[in-house]
A and B are shown apart, each in its own frame.
Chain A
């Protein structure tokens, strides 16, 4: 089949569109010679097409990377060795310790051996520990809230409260001038102030940068909603940037190019964290939307007139029935249960 040694090179050139007209017609002829040839060519094409899916596009900014680099250089940080170098170093330390042990342990032989063994094990464990914790750049911690709301304190003091079925991922030790957390689902961040280390949350291709503030991020089905409680955050996506202040929010869809912010009308986003529904002139449709989300209920408004009714009250750790009871009494609404469905009339 490969009578010509260079046929592979030629075929690839054709697949990649690098061939001359002459080569192209030669390959056409070759392909027509036998179904086997045709298949061979098709395989190349298929592999080429398929491999495109494995491409990774770096979102790293080279200027920021350079800044980080210069900072490391400035701190006099030393590069890690290769594995071999590193393992030698750990082993070297162990030998050193062994020498010390030999000096200390001048007593009875059995006890001496025991001590050596104990200390060696300790040193090796220590070496391994040191190795795992300080050498590996990718020492990541993933926290998944599972079926409950979960609070987690990050290494530098910021507190993250995750809604159910949410997860965050961060470095055990934040390196450089950045505190980076990746998240999915919904979480509230109370960021410990540190002017020298920006706190960056990444989700759905959106990055949210703050210097010390509190804000809620909800990233569900490709849509990212950021609500700022205090301070100021900077949201970046692609080349666009928007700054969102206290009591403002920004909603970014997967395909949105522009970043737009708006006033945040209510405090309902806080529910999973505070167990409090704070309604402040909140329209019925919005409350129903939130109740459905929090209680996984199927409430519908049966009468369009009700939709715009505004409610001002606070429910603390109240059951769904309790809330609906108050709502029905306040507005004289009838609550009809129909299997899973709840209709307000």
Chain B
């Protein structure tokens, strides 16, 4: 299967070394990505592990026709959303346990930070971004990568990153516009 960072495929000897390299250089950021979607680090890790396992099973077959980072981020995105979808249909006990967990995860009793309405909305809106848009936003916002770095990582042009970031912020704004406090300010000023 394996692709190096520029998207060239190799097979046979050295594939396993390359695999290890790809695994180690991507695991942490993929895990962070899964965590931002799932808000639960342990299943998030399981999902990333499983994606690599699938990839491992396909060793020797050339199957990725694109940049390996793009493939991995997409896989994490899709699997994480699948996981969330399934979580919804689980039994009452499960959702109860999850709630318990969410409480302990997010609202540590010591800090008891109540998630603000805007933050909640933002999380939902982020979830609804198209996959590529979301991945790029993720890399820019949560991994603090520059446009250039994102472009290199995903094998895309800087122009595309610019467009996607513009699109991301525009979409987020459309979904959040009712919750942005500046709007109140605007109305009071001009009424």
A288 to B104, CA, bound (A): 31
The residue of chain A having its C-beta at the shortest distance from the C-beta of B37 within the complex is A56
State A233–B46 Cα separation when bound (angstroms).
26
Distance to closest chain A CB from B144 (angstroms): 9
Evaluate contact between A12 and B166: CB separation under 8 angstroms: yes
Instruction: Enumerate chain B residues within 8 angstroms of A21, measured Cβ to Cβ.
Output: none
Known: A65-B49, A82-B82. A58 touches B31 (CB 8 A): yes
A18, A54, A83, A221: the one contacting B85 at CB < 8 Å is: A83
List residues of chain A with CB under 8 Å of any chain B CB: 6, 8-13, 15-16, 18, 35, 39-40, 42-44, 46-48, 50-60, 62-63, 65-66, 68-69, 72-73, 77-80, 82-83, 132, 136-138, 140-142, 144, 167, 169, 171, 175, 180, 182, 184, 221-222
Task: Report yes or no: B101 in contact with A79, Cβ–Cβ below 8 A.
Answer: no
B→A interface (CB under 8 Å) = 20, 23-25, 27-29, 31-32, 35-36, 39-43, 45-50, 52-54, 56-57, 79, 82-83, 85-86, 90-91, 94, 97-98, 100-101, 104, 108-110, 118-119, 122-123, 126, 137, 140-142, 146-147, 162-163, 165-170, 172-173, 176-177, 180-183, 186, 189-190
CB atoms of A222 and B110 under 8 A apart: yes
Contacts of B137 in A (CB 8 A): 51
Find A47's partner among B97, B140, B172 (CB 8 Å cutoff).
Answer: B172
Contact indicator B53/A48 (Cβ below 8 Å) = no
Q: Is the CB of A16 within 8 A of B42?
A: no
B180 touches A46 (CB 8 A): yes
Bound-state Cα–Cα, A72 to B52, Å: 11
A sample of 24 cross-chain residue pairs with beta-carbon separation below 8 angstroms, ordered by A number, consists of A8-B167, A10-B166, A11-B166, A12-B169, A18-B147, A43-B177, A46-B180, A46-B182, A47-B172, A47-B180, A51-B172, A54-B142, A55-B32, A56-B41, A60-B45, A62-B24, A65-B31, A66-B20, A66-B27, A79-B54, A137-B42, A138-B42, A142-B100, A169-B101
Q: What secondary structure prevails in chain B residues at the interface with A?
A: helix
Whether the pair B169, A44 counts as a contact (CB closer than 8 A) is: yes
In the bound complex, residues from chain A placing their C-beta under 8 Å from that of B173 are: 40, 43-44, 47
Does the CB pair B109–A184 fall under 8 Å?
yes
* Cβ-defined contact, B27 with A65, below 8 A: yes
Complex A-B, nearest 10 residue pairs according to Cβ-Cβ distance, in ascending order:
A137-B46, A138-B43, A9-B166, A8-B166, A56-B35, A79-B53, A58-B32, A58-B31, A79-B54, A62-B27
Q: Is the CB of A39 within 8 A of B45?
A: no
Residues from chain B with a CB closer than 8 A to the CB of A51 are 122, 126, 137, 141, 172
Instruction: Kindly state the separation between the CA atoms of A129 and B134 in the bound complex, as whole angstroms.
Output: 34
Given contacts A12-B169, A47-B169, contact A137 B100 (CB under 8 A): no
Closest Cβ of chain A to B118, distance in Å, is: 6
Q: Tell me the nearest residue of chain B to A64, going by C-beta.
A: B27
Whether B183 lies near A39 (C-beta < 8 A) is yes
Decide if B24 touches A140 in the complex (CB within 8 Å): no
> Smallest Cβ distance from B161 to chain A, in angstroms?
9
A62–B140 alpha-carbon span in the complex (Å)? 21
Given A16-B140, A35-B189, A221-B110, A50 contacting B118 (CB threshold 8 A): yes
Contacts of A16 in B (CB 8 A): 140, 147, 165
Q: Which residues of A contact B53 (CB under 8 A)?
A: 69, 72-73, 77-79
State whether A53 and B141 are in contact (beta carbons under 8 Å apart), knowing that A12-B169, A77-B53, A138-B42 are contacts in the complex. Answer: no
Known pairs A43-B177, A68-B49, A140-B101; A8 contacts B28 (CB<8 A) = no
Q: Which listed residue (A11, A43, A144, A180) contacts B182, Cβ 8 A?
A: A43
Assess the B166–A137 pair: CB atoms within 8 A: no
For A137, list chain B residues within 8 Å (CB): 42-43, 46-47, 50
CB distance from A255 to the nearest CB of B (A): 13
Given contacts A69-B49, A77-B53, A132-B90, contact A58 B166 (CB under 8 A): no
Which of chain B's residues has its CB closest to A171's CB?
Answer: B42
Partner of A39, one of B42, B118, B167, B182: B182
**Complex: chain B residue closest to A167, CB-CB:** B104
| Chain B, residue nearest A80 (CB) | B50
Q: Are A8 and B170 in contact (CB under 8 A)?
A: yes
A residues near B24, Cβ cutoff 8 Å:
62-63, 66
Contacts of B183 in A (CB 8 A): 39
Q: How far apart are the CA atoms of A132 and B163 in the complex, in Å?
A: 41
Quote the shortest CB–CB distance from A269 to chain B (angstroms): 20
